Amino acid sequence: MKTRIAVLVSGGGTNLQALLDAEAAGKIPHGEIAMVISNVPGAYALTRAKQAGVPAAVIDRKACGSLAEFEEKLQAILELDGIDMIILAGFLCILSENFTKKWSNRILNIHPSLIPAFCGAGFYGLRVHAAALTRGVKLTGATVHLVNGVPDGGPILLQKAVEVLPGDTPEILQRRVMEQAEWVLLPQAAELWAEKLASAQ
């Protein structure tokens, strides 16, 4: 039995694309990307899902009266599709402790820094890379971790370092971290965890 994976997205879906490409190349043999869910209507990630023939759903976070209502709808879709594992791939919505407890050790997130540096509430997207440049670090990178009730606080699964170069802007650094770390690590972590869950079934 393959581990059924739902990928949660909010934007362009470059990490989703890395997962789809890895699956197509046979690099996630124990997992199957069964669902893509966006909290933002019109996110380009939904187009990527469609092009790959993966079912997609939208739960508009802004249209939901509360986080609880949003998570209720999310839970219903996940249950309906028999999802075993969730990957947050550029998903800009902090999930509640109540939800993450329900999915304990079954949610993976990719963060664009070497945790514990430049992580936690408020650190996402270009903000992370801007903070790294302001601090003057020589190495940054990406981290895949399990998700718990603390933003970026769950156990670390994989990390990869990326060099910071003279003349880097947040945008240039973001691109290098994606290409050299995020797009490499996320498929590796997906297979690692899918295999673990599949063997436990």
Which tokens in the block code for residue 142?
């990406």
Among the listed residues 30, 111, 129, 145, the single catalytic one is: 111
Question: Cβ-count burial of 142 within 10 angstroms (0-12 exposed, 13-18 middle, 19+ buried)?
Answer: buried
Q: N- to C-terminal Cα distance for the chain?
A: 8
pLDDT along the chain (201 residues), means of 10: 96 96 98 97 96 97 93 97 96 93 96 95 92 97 95 95 97 98 98 94 72
Q: Considering Cα of 130, then 133, then 134, then 135, what sign does the dihedral take?
A: positive
Q: How far apart are CA 133 and CA 18, in angstroms?
A: 26
Residue 161's pLDDT is 98
Residue 186's pLDDT is 97
129 is catalytic: no
Task: State how far the alpha carbon of 95 is from the alpha carbons of 13, 102, 149, 150, 179, in Å.
Answer: 19, 11, 8, 9, 27
Q: How far apart are CA 132 and CA 16, in angstroms?
A: 24
Q: How far apart are CA 194 and CA 185, in angstroms?
A: 14
Fold of 3-200: Rossmann fold (3.40.50)
Which tokens in the block code for residue 105?
């050790």
Q: Give the three-class secondary structure for 33.
A: strand
Which tokens in the block code for residue 127?
């903000």
